[in-house]
Amino acid sequence: QVQFVESGGGLVQPGGSLRLSCAASGIFFRISAMGWYRQSLGNQREAVATIGSSGAAIYADSVKGRFAISRDNAKNTVYLQMNMLKAEDTAVYYCNTGHNPLPNWGQGTQVTVSS
């Protein structure tokens, strides 16, 4: 059974940092590209960052230079380090496989950037 469990969200002031974690199960994690996605109120879900099985990463233009995606294949876990957070980063963040996400979405983790 495919499952993604996200954690690490919270309330942070503009300019602050958060580190999100996502534990994946039911997939061949080591050979899977993994991605972080987000959905803000009234908007469609969008891809934020993707990391390939080799560790190569790509980012949405809106987060380049501020966010960093990484993975730990031994733990079947993908991370998203978010720095210099802005109000427009406020959203529910989800992880899934990269490029072609599976229909099994987790509950996500809420990130709120506000003073």
- Residue 1 is predicted with a pLDDT of 92
- Residue 8 is predicted with a pLDDT of 98
**Separation of alpha carbons 6 and 111, rounded Å:** 11
- Mean pLDDT for 25-53 is 96
**Separation of alpha carbons 70 and 35, rounded Å:** 10
Collapsing DSSP to helix, strand or coil, 89 comes out as helix
Q: In what order do the strands lie in the sheet with 46-51?
A: 10-12, 109-113, 91-97, 34-39, 46-51, 57-59
Q: What is the mean pLDDT of the chain?
A: 96
- Mean pLDDT for 18-43 is 96
User: Which band of pLDDT confidence, cut at 50, 70 and 90, is reported for residue 99?
Assistant: confident
Q: Note whether 14 and 87 are within 8 A (CB).
A: yes
User: Which band of pLDDT confidence, cut at 50, 70 and 90, is reported for residue 11?
Assistant: very high
